[in-house]
Amino acid sequence: MSIMSYSKALGTALSEEMRRDPNVVCIGIDLQYYGGAFGVTKGLAEEFGEDRIVNMPIAEAGYTGLAVGAAATGLRPVVELQFGDWVTIASDQLVNQAANMHYMSGGAITVPMVMRLPCGGFGAAAAQHSHMFESWFAFVAGLKVMCPSTPADAKGMLKTAIRDDNPVIFLEHRQCYEMKGEVPDDPEFLVPMGKADVKRQGRDVTVITYSYMVHFALQAAEILAREGIDVEVIDLRTIKPMDTETILRSVHKTNRAVCLQETWKTCGVAGEVAAVLAQEGFDDLDAPILRIASPDCPAPFSPDLETFVLPSVDRIVREIRGMMGGN
């Protein structure tokens, strides 16, 4: 084990996979010697050269399309956008091309590419630099969606995504980049796709969440534990395919479910989890399913307004306290 940051864990995953497979290439803006917007690829150009760590112009649709074509013809490109919000510019290449090519070719073509998206709020970066679009891409048949919350998961999940033969949307929360934790040194350490992780065991209520909200849920759980409320925290890790078995097993034990996400409430991942519970776990529920999310408004630029809009530890505590019959 080594102690490293989330961003370093991602860089380690990239370097290990590039050593393992010469077909892995990185594509994006300022990746070579600047290291990308958040320093993840720093040092990789020195080892692997400019043919495999490739700088691109400000043309997200163009270089995403380049990656789709490269993946279809034998490479394994890892694309980095400087901010995940700009994936809207590249979405035609992902939704209409990458997601469909395997099906439309009768299985003759695979598109083994990863789209890395720095995302999320809590940085007062305003509406064009703060959003998360995981539910958009989870809706699309042919795409897989992953959202690591810890350094170890960041490494193991990115390696799994790179080795997968399908296009993977890989969301990295910007507030996680400097978080540190233990990360396995084993170059074959992989986190299985579609497998959630129980980050905290509990008996009274299950919080199902992902990405940066995992840390909020864990903080809320510690506060509630002092009040005698034992919270189980499930980190989905993979949004699609989703590990519904772990969710249902936990709620069968606790009989209460909180679906927590950072982004907008309407048509989000929390709603999908709630639908699964309503259909397959209804008899286990002793209280209505609770969703905690942001209201349907753009991310504010004002730090005070952003704090008001986004979920908070205090709000999670209050909502669970109310669910359990407290004030």
Q: Give the predicted TM-score (pTM) of the model.
A: 0.95
The mean per-residue pLDDT over the stretch 182-200 comes to 97
pLDDT higher than 90, residue 239? yes
C-alpha pair distances (Å), 282 with each of 138, 212, 227, 234:
24, 28, 27, 18
Is 102 in the active site?
A: no
**Catalytic residue from among 129, 131, 173, 215:** 129
Residue type (1 letter), 104: M
Peptide bond just before 112 cis, omega within 30 deg: no
Amino acid at 265: K
Average pLDDT for 138-155: 98
Using one digit for the tens of pLDDT, what is the confidence trace for 6-57? 999 999 999 999 999 999 999 999 999 888 989 999 999 999 999 999 999 9
Q: Residue 325 above 90 pLDDT?
A: no
Q: What is the mean pLDDT of residues 137-159?
A: 98
CA distance 317 to 315: 5
Give the model's confidence band at 129: pLDDT under 50 very low, under 70 low, under 90 confident, else very high.
Answer: confident
Q: Of the ranges 2-6, 190-194, 299-303, which one carries the lowest mean pLDDT score? A: 299-303
- Render the burial of 102-122: b for 16+ CB within 10 Å, e for the rest: beeeeeeebbbbbbbbbbbbb
- Find the helix or strand (DSSP H, E) in which 183 lies: strand 180-183
pLDDT band at 326 (very low <50, low <70, confident <90, very high): low
Q: What is the mean pLDDT of the chain?
A: 96
pLDDT (0 to 100) of residue 85: 93
**Is residue 75's pLDDT more than 90?**
yes
Q: Tell me how far CA of residue 14 lies from CA of 25, 146, 185, in angstroms.
A: 9, 16, 13
Mean of the pLDDT values across residues 167-180?
Answer: 97
